[in-house]
Structure 1
């Protein structure tokens, strides 16, 4: 990511980033005011547009900033030690939720970035998401045992289904309450994952997992 704010002090840079996260996170893109971002950051609007030629460029900078914050914290050593598909998804989702909740307005910004109408940034966002999906299995699932899946099930389709379920849930929450409870989202995600696991995995692996769970409960 090109750091357009490198000439600013760390304090002032953080002020701009946090102001943009708050305004973009609490408003739809078209209603997010660059005047308000500048005011909250304690700089002039002219200086803001000295670093970013327009609102879209600022938005994409903040989006890349979010990805850089989340990525290294998510892809730790344990991430690549997990060999079960659904365990990996659960670990990643839980850790991402905790990361997002630890930064002010990072959760709100991420939800709007991925799951709301994005007007003139939609093309860039869609392109990013397509590239992510195309490379995710190579980069993130390289140590996962895909032989557990039934022959007629495509693991990538299972991931798509989980994304669609999450998308629908987030749209509903944002429509009715304008907020997202990360803990509740994780509970729902685990429930969906368990349902899809019973559909996708071969019978012998499901039986093995049930036996292991029952043993753990007895112990």
Structure 2
């Protein structure tokens, strides 16, 4: 990738990034033309190729940028500093809502990219996903206080279940043209309260 992309004003970088997320989230990798991304970003196709040498380079940049942005905002919302899993997940939800406001199509792009089977980018996406997922899960489970949970609970399995449900809810929300942030917060808070009744020790939090 040409370093001149990072020399652009942040606003212009985000315009190009959001254009990429939108186009790639609505089409397969093969059927996503660079010309459409350039047009969406308000630049020429030749200039887009000046910043990114080819479509694969742009696609993988956008994919890796998802992980970087997620870690950045989870850190900003102090998710990794929490020992209470439910507080951590609540803050994580707030962070993801912030990301959705700044990059409306990023979530849809992540889902699309994960299931993309084009041989040009498939293996790179899957390898990257495995390493990021392992890093995220291991770090979170290592920091939480497990004494608040019911005896004998498989904490790793519980976290996986809640993560899948949360990601499924976010995917459902992002399919709508307009995101109701207030409703999202209420819905997710209700989900957290339900999980507490299932997994915390009798009598609630210790």
Q: State TM-score, norm by structure 1.
A: 0.72
Offset of residue 162 of structure 1: 2.0
Tell me, in whole angstroms, the C-alpha distance in 2 between the residues paired with 1:185 and 1:167. 12
After superposition, the Cα gap between the structure-2 partners of 1:145 and 1:123, relative to the gap in structure 1 and judged at 3 Å, is same
Tell me, in whole angstroms, the C-alpha distance in 1 between the residues paired with 2:112 and 2:4. 33
CA contact (8 A) 1:149 1:200 kept: yes
**Residue aligning to 2:107:** 110
Deviations 1:78-125 (A, max 9, x none): 434422111111111112212331x1xx13222331367433245444
Q: Of 4, 7, 10, which residue of structure 1 is paired with 2:8? A: 10
After superposition, the Cα gap between the structure-2 partners of 1:155 and 1:181, relative to the gap in structure 1 and judged at 3 Å, is farther
After superposition, the Cα gap between the structure-2 partners of 1:182 and 1:57, relative to the gap in structure 1 and judged at 3 Å, is farther
Tell me, in whole angstroms, the C-alpha distance in 1 between the residues paired with 2:45 and 2:196. 51
**Residue aligning to 2:100:** 100
CA contact (8 A) 1:83 1:144 kept: yes
CA contact (8 A) 1:38 1:44 kept: yes
Tell me, in whole angstroms, the C-alpha distance in 2 between the residues paired with 1:144 and 1:93. 17
After superposition, the Cα gap between the structure-2 partners of 1:13 and 1:195, relative to the gap in structure 1 and judged at 3 Å, is closer
Tell me, in whole angstroms, the C-alpha distance in 2 between the residues paired with 1:69 and 1:169. 20
Tell me, in whole angstroms, the C-alpha distance in 1 between the residues paired with 2:172 and 2:100. 20
**Matched length:** 199
Tell me, in whole angstroms, the C-alpha distance in 1 between the residues paired with 2:173 and 2:15. 29
Tell me, in whole angstroms, the C-alpha distance in 2 between the residues paired with 1:69 and 1:171. 17
CA contact (8 A) 2:107 2:171 kept: no
Offset of residue 179 of structure 1: 5.5
Offset of residue 169 of structure 1: 3.4
Q: Structure 2: give runs of 5+ residues left out of the alignment.
A: none
